[in-house]
Structures are given as structure tokens and as C-alpha cells.
Amino acid sequence: MISAGDFRNGVTIEYDNNIYQIIEFQHVKPGKGAAFVRTKLKNIKSGGVVEKTFRPSEKCPQARIDRKDMQYLYSDGDLCHFMDVESYEQIALDPSSIGDALKFVKENEMCKVCSHNGNVFAVEPPLFVELKITNTEPGFKGDTAQGATKPAVVETGATVYVPLFVEEEDVIKIDTRSGEYLSRV
């Protein structure tokens, strides 16, 4: 159990039969009345964000989230297959439950599979990936006063905006959290 007075960003709690992660919290002491804790909570399974206030003495059970390193094997259209590299156990997940987390992940790359009580609810790709560009327009000189970019399709099929000097067959580094181009490799 964790009291609302001990809330911190990133802590996961069980509340109203759901699992929430604390995105923001603020301890408020008004001039009159009792203090309270104002929070923004993200529902881990649905992704929705709600605002809730707690009394500092209120307690919630802390949720235990298991993050396991697994290798992304392949997608056969209906399911995405992952393998535990220690036990060689394989699991298949529905792409709709994962979302677009795998749009920058190639086959045979490592990911973190997040679960609560054995139920998988999310896949976290590596923070940075290196991918080859398969299709992009040639860059034109001029029009670069504001750091112009152009769309480029990488080998996983995702589209990334890159600077004009990047060409086809170049290998680039991408931040998977924002989908932004970082550098050429």
C-alpha cells in the first residue's frame, strides 16, 4: 500500500479496478481546509488520462508491473510473435493490443513486454533504433532557411521526416518515443 502523500511520477497504483501510472502530482495546501494531492493518472491498459484528487492519508495498493526482455520474432498479420530468450517460450499478441509500438522494430530485435498479473498490456520498443531508408525523394537545394525536411520510408514501413541531405540506402538513428530522426549512422 502506498499513501497519497508518497506519490511520485512513474509510480503505478491499483484504483477503481484499473491500473494507473502517475504522470503528474501536486501537493496542495489551501489557506482554509485540509491539504490534498492533485494527480493526473494514465490508465495503463486503455491509455486514457484522468485527473483525481486524494487526501494525503488515503492509501492505494501499489501495482506490480513485470517488464520482461523478449525478442520480437515476426508478425503473420493476425498476431505478433515474441520469444523469451532465457526459456525459449513463445507468446503471440494481438496487434490491436500493442498499438503502433512495433512500427520501428525489425524482426529479431529485443523489446520489453509489460504485464500485470500475467496479462500483457504493452510492448516497449528499444529507445533508439537504426534503420535503413528504402524510399525517399531527392533533396533540392534552397528552401533551407528553416531546416527543411522530407518524408522517408524506413525498412519497417514507417515514415520519418529527415533532413534534405539524407538519401536512399542511408542508415539512420531514430528515437522510437517521438519517431524523430536523430542522425545518420
Question: Which range among 28-42, 43-57, 92-106, 169-183 shows the weakest confidence by mean pLDDT?
Answer: 92-106
Give the integer Cα–Cα distance in Å for 132 and 134.
6
User: Could you give the percent of the chain with pLDDT greater than 90?
Assistant: 10
pLDDT (tens digit, 9 = 90+) per residue, 25-68?
999 888 888 889 999 998 887 778 899 999 888 898 988 888 88
Cα separation, 148 vs 150, whole angstroms: 7
Burial 118-146 (b: 16+ CB within 10 A, else e): eebbbbebeeebbbebeebeebeeeeeee
Mean pLDDT of 59-84: 88
Query: Which residues constitute the domain of residue 75?
Result: 66-124
120: which residues sit within 8 A by CB, 6+ positions away? 91, 93, 97, 113, 114
pLDDT at 141: 66
Domain count, the chain: 3
**CATH number of the domain where residue 40 is located:** 2.30.30.30
* Full-model pTM: 0.70
Residues 15 and 35 in one domain: yes
Q: Which of 80, 103, 124 is the last residue of a domain?
A: 124
pLDDT category, 142, cuts 50, 70, 90? low
Out of 100, 124, 148, pick the residue that ends a domain.
124
Q: Would you give the DSSP letter of residue 85?
A: T
